[in-house]
Amino acid sequence: MENNDNLKSLRGKLLITGTIKLETGMHIGASNDFAPIGSVDTPFIRDVVTQEPIIPGSSIKGKLRTLLAKSHCNDYIMNDIKEDKEEIKRLFGSVNPVKPARLQFYDLFITDETRQLFANIETDTYMGEIKFENTINRVDGSANPRQIERVPAGTVFTFKVAYNIENEAEVTEDMKILQEGLALLGIDYLGGHGSRGYGRVNISIDDVKPVGNSAINTQDLLDILRK
């Protein structure tokens, strides 16, 4: 028998937009299997056409879900993803049972202002900086140097996520959960090496726009997301 969750009607959509500004350098890794000699050891991910830094929507979605799952976990050990609470599953999706995600995240691209800023700044790589680090062997004290490419602090990305309105009675609760995830991310980090200060971000939600026939008060939702 087909799961009724797959047959829910769409009451409309909300388009949530804003910005994410890097407070410290960020590294979301890309493959360097075919890197030429002399290139950086661990490059960050770039848009294949423009070669500008991007934040994949999957990185935002995965980080928010993980933070919320940890925050709502009742045990000391992190639960399996299929044991996430229902309010998390309905926002981010589930395969057991099958639940389509109400949130659809966009890839994040840099703003025009950031593009103009970098046009006047000389950087180590195109729109990137090189961070030199050492891993020290505790036994013999030997160093293992490495180069990590980071997106520089001050870079601003556009943030965009669409939300499917399936049950108008749950929209406010869903927005409160999304706001909780964004607040947790604001004191956590994006990408790798966060324990060393990488990937600290400032998140700003600017607008909630309704699309479709819903009569929901989006100003109330915007107020929730801006808390």
| pLDDT higher than 70, residue 81 | yes
pLDDT tens-place string over residues 207-219:
999 998 777 889 9
pLDDT tops 60 at residue 33 = no
Amino acid at 24: T
- The percentage of the chain sitting over the pLDDT mark of 90, rounded to a whole number, equals 68
Convert the pLDDT of each residue in 12-27 to its tens digit.
999 999 999 999 999 9
Instruction: Work out the angle between the directed axes of helices 57-71 and 171-186 (0-180°, nearest 10).
Output: 100
Q: Which helix (H) or strand (E) holds 45?
A: none
The answer to whether 110 touches 157, Cβ cutoff 8 Å, is yes
Write out pLDDT tens, residues 43-59: 999 999 999 999 999 99
Confidence of residue 37 (pLDDT cuts 50, 70, 90): very low
Using CA atoms, how far residue 178 sits from 37, 103, 110, 175, 226, in Å, is 44, 9, 22, 5, 11
What lies within 8 Å, CB to CB, of 66 at 6+ separation is none
Give the CA radius of gyration of the chain.
Answer: 20
Structure tokens at 81: 């993803």
